[in-house]
Structures are given as structure tokens and as C-alpha cells.
Amino acid sequence: MKLTVKQFIAVLLALGFTLVFFKSPVQAEIISFDSPRWVLPKGVSRVEEYLGQKSLYLFGGVAYLKDVEFSNGIIEFDVVFSEKRGFFGGVFRMQDIGNLEEFYLRSHQSGNPDALQYTPVYNNMAGWQLYHGPGFSAATTYRFDQWMHIKLVVSGKQAELYIDNNQQPVLFTDNLRRPVKAGKVGVRALRFSPGHFANFKVIQMDKPVLKNKKKAPEQTAPGTVMTWSISKPFPETSLDQTLTLTDEHKNNREWKTLECEPSGLANISRLVKWDRQKNTVFARLIIDSRQRQLKVLRFGFSDRVKVYLNDRLLYTGQNNYRSRDYRYLGTIGYFDALALPLEKGSNELRLAVSENFGGWGIKCRFDDMKGITIK
């Protein structure tokens, strides 16, 4: 005897079955921003009707769900903003307000290579000056003053970002920089211009499907410095006019070891929390040289650096945002070089690295390692 669908369902219900298969495993409810599940920043947010949607007005700060621990899956929401300078996006795997993964849309850079940005955040420091180019920033064009749909797919160390239901992601990141650890999810706007968010939903999935494949691991170039000793932070002004380091500058320092990323990037914020009064650290190396010789060191820094070799100042430079012209971003790279006059035996190299915002880091690479050993 053949049963109709309704008769089959009735039989299952009579037998006590729960019809969970009628609910797709990837469906998720829209979580209204007036739900008590949200933690909203005070003074800069409110729930209101906007362009036909119940939305969250956000003019700075992070709004996050207090009852969701997200590791892998899909995050979706709609956003609207003007063409004014602004930064609007989402956060995920948030351990606390200063340690999270973040992506955001730069409204004023629509169509430019840095219209879209992914960055890790460590100790309240977003690292966009350290993380730029493929896998971190991308070009896309925005529609202003109308709703756009955003979808982020996160799987392990990889993520894809889609805008306006396009079939292909506008950004693929194959190496998320923070550890894979469940955390809070939400939306964020920096305090430059307000945005509105609506229709937020989150789907937890172990292994969501990505359209892109993981790239080959980044290769570390020969001569790249991969480990530093990092001091506790201190005021940058303490080195004003200091041509030679004294015991007062050098003693009573507590050191931590910082391992670099394959490119040689040392993200200092992973270890040290920045503040305006104590905005500088020493990054230290010991270089053993078999003889007196010059060795070329190529390096990058953010935002400012003073290079001391065996206590003597060799170089000072700045790489601040807009320090060279109004379009200058201050992104890090191997843009500078210095010939180090090494003595035979042990040489101490100290870089005093100071930061304003946008990423606190250094990267160094020797042209060749012949006759030297790094400790």
C-alpha cells in the first residue's frame, strides 16, 4: 500500500518520531538587535527602523551576542552606510573586547585595493599596517545608502567573505592569524561615521564548504630573523636625544620571547599591551660574528624605530600613518636597509620600536648569514 506524504508523517508522529529532518541543518533564525541576547555599547548605539528594516544604529564600538561561542560556520548580516569615511564590519572568535578576529569595509575606499580588510586584533591593537595585500585586503565597490548583504564563511584557519550574494568571495584568507578558539560574534563600527546593521544570523558548522583551496605555505627567506627578545614597554620619550645606551636604559628589563611569522613579521601586540604612556619596547638580538665585518640588515617597522648596535645609535626612522604624505598608510615591509658594523664576537642589536596605532611590529632579514650566528 502506498502512503501519501501526509499519511507517512502521521504514521511517524503516531510512533513518536521527531521530524527534525524537515529543518535544514544550515537554517538559522534572524537575531533581532532588540533581543536581550545582545550586548550593545552604551551611548553609541540604538535599535531603530531604517530603510524598511529593524536595525542597529552603531556609531563606534562592538555589539556582540553573549550566548554564542562560535568557532566555525557562517555569519550573515545586512549593512548600510554613506560614502563618508567609515569602517563597518564583523567580529568573530572574540575572547574579549580587545582580542578577536575582525573584518571591515572601508566606505571611503570603495573601488580601491584596500576597500576591504581582515586583521587579527591582539590586546586592543588592530594590525592593518602589518597585514595588507592578498589575503588581508581586497578591492570591491559599495552601494551607498542602501542595504548590502554580508556573508562570512569560517573554517579552521581559513575564511571567505561575500558581499551582496555574489557567487564568488571578494576576499579569501587562508591563514587566520589568531588561534582557532571559539568566541563571541558580532558587528563593529569605528567612530568616524555611523552605520546600520540588520538581519544578523549565525550558523555553527564544523567544516563549512569553501570555494577556495588553501595555498602552499609561505616560505621563509634565508637570513630572516625568526625570534626576538621583547622587553616590557616604556615611554618613548625616555630615549629622546639618546645616542648611546647606558645601564639605566638597559638594566631592570624583563624579557619575553616572540616567535615570528614566516615572513619574519614580529607582531609585538601578541605579547605587549600598548598604552599612550608606555608605547615603546626593545626588540633584542645577539649576533655572534667570526670577524669584524659589515652585514646588510633589511628591515621594516611600525610605527617608529631607533636601531642601536652595541649601545650606539645607528639609525632612527618613522613610518607613521600619513607621515610622508596624506595618502601614506605606513604599512610594514622590507623597505629600509642598514649596514651593521659588527665586531668580532658577540654583538647586541636593540631596536626600540614605538607605536601610535594600526599595528606594532618589526621584521628583519640579513642579506647573507656567512660568518654570523643569531642567538
Query: Would you say residue 320 lies in a domain?
Result: yes
Length of the chain: 375
Domain end call among 204, 238, 273:
204
Strand bridging mode 125-126 / 116-122: antiparallel
What pLDDT was estimated at residue 14?
42
Q: What pTM was computed for the model?
A: 0.89
Let me know whether 183 and 249 are in one domain.
no
Same domain, 134 and 56: yes
CB atoms within 10 A of CB 105: 24
Q: Per residue in 292-330, pLDDT tens?
A: 999 999 999 999 999 999 999 999 999 999 998 988 999
Q: What pLDDT is attached to residue 217? A: 87
Q: What is the CATH number of the domain that holds 69?
A: 2.60.120.560
pLDDT score at 38: 98
Question: Are the C-beta atoms of residues 223 and 84 closer than 8 Å to each other?
Answer: no
DSSP-assigned letters across all residues of 165-214: T-SS-SEEES--SS----BEEEEEE-BTB-EEEEEEEEEE-SS---SSPP
Based on the fold, state whether residues 178 and 254 are members of the same structural domain.
Answer: no
Domain count, the chain: 2
Q: How much is the pLDDT for 24? A: 39
Q: Are 84 and 142 a contacting pair, CB within 8 Å?
A: no
Q: What is the pLDDT of residue 25?
A: 45
> For position 6, what pLDDT does the model report?
47
Same domain, 200 and 310: no
> Within the chain, which residues score under 50 in pLDDT?
1, 5-6, 8-25
Same domain, 73 and 34: yes
Asked, for residue 344, whether it belongs to a domain, the answer is yes
Q: What whole-number distance in Å separates Cα of residue 127 and Cα of residue 107?
A: 19
Buried b vs exposed e over 281-306: b needs ≥16 C-beta within 10 Å? bbbbbebebeeeeebebbbbbbbbbb
CATH value at residue 241: 2.60.120
* Same domain assignment for residues 184 and 238: no
CB atoms within 10 A of CB 267: 24
Give the domain range for residue 183.
23-204
Considering the domain architecture, whether residues 195 and 235 belong to the same structural domain is answered as: no
Q: Is 168 exposed, middle or buried (0-12, 13-18, 19+ CB in 10 A)?
A: exposed
Q: What contacts 198, CB < 8 A, 6 or more positions away? A: 33, 50, 53, 54, 55, 56, 77, 78, 79, 147
What is the C-alpha to C-alpha distance for residues 84 and 78, in angstroms, rounded to an integer?
A: 18
C-alpha cell read off for 109: 575606499
198/275 Cα distance (integer angstroms): 34
Answer yes or no: is 365 within a domain.
yes
Q: Does residue 12 lie within any of the structural domains?
A: no
Residue 18 lies in a domain: no
Q: Are residues 241 and 363 in the same domain?
A: yes
Of 204, 237, 272, the position where a domain reaches its end is 204
Q: Do both 122 and 187 map to the same domain?
A: yes
Q: Is 152 exposed, middle or buried (0-12, 13-18, 19+ CB in 10 A)?
A: buried
pLDDT value for 168: 95
In a domain, 234, yes or no: yes
